[in-house]
């Protein structure tokens, strides 16, 4: 593998799926304010909670992984929103003050 491939979440997702693992792909689709990762960034998750990539600076990955496991089971995509103003119990905030929307889908 070349340098840029080692940490490539989309290549990881393909390899995992081809190995027979269940996989979800989370993508940042919208950002407001000082979001840590730009739109288009990916986090990929397998059925056991292993992950590669990032959608934030580590602030919300835990919550995304939990939701991704749901998506893997149900097959139904989800849109997640994270921001400082959000105080919903299971949701965590972004300490940078930004707001992001993350789309989570199953890799069929």
Partner 1 sequence: MELETLAKLNAARQARKAAVVATDLSGGPVRLILEGEPVPGPLGQEVAKAFRSGKAAMAEVDGRSLFLNVHLPPPRIVVIGAVHISQALARLAPVAGYDLTIIDPRTAFATEERFDGVELIADWPEDVLRERPLDAYTALAAVTHDPKIDDFALSEALRVGCFYVGALGSRKTHAKRVERLKEMGRTDEEIGRIAAPIGLDIAAASPAEIALATLAQVVQAFRRRDLVTDG
Give the footprint of partner 1 on this chain (CB under 8 A). Answer: 2-7, 10-11, 13-14, 17-18, 25, 27, 29-30, 38-40, 76-77, 79, 103, 105, 107-108
HEC string of the chain? Answer: CCHHHHCCHHHHHHHHHHCCCCEEEEEEEEEECCCCCCCCCEEEEECCCCEEECCCCCCCHHHHHHHHHHHHHHCCCEEEEEECCCCCCCCCCCCCCCEEEEEEEECC
Nearer to partner 1, 11 or 69 (CB): 11
Q: Closest approach of Cβ 6 to partner 1, in Å?
A: 8
Q: How far is the CB of 90 from partner 1 (least distance, A)?
A: 22
- For 42, other C-beta atoms within 10 Å of its C-beta total 19
Min separation Cβ 38 and partner 1, Å? 7
Give me the least distance between CB of 84 and partner 1, in Å please.
Answer: 21
- Between 6 and 84, CB nearer to partner 1: 6
């Amino acid at each position: 593998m070349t340098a840029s491939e080692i940490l490539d979440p989309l290549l990881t997702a393909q390899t995992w799926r081809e190995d027979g693992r269940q996989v979800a792909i989370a993508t940042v689709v919208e950002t407001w304010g000082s979001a840590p990762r730009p739109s288009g960034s990916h986090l990929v998750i397998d059925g056991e909670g292993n992950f590669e990539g990032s959608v934030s600076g580590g602030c919300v990955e835990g919550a995304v992984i939990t939701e991704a496991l749901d998506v893997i089971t149900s097959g139904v995509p989800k849109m997640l929103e994270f921001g400082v103003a959000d105080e919903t119990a299971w949701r965590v905030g972004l300490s940078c003050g930004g707001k992001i929307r993350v789309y989570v889908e199953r890799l069929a």
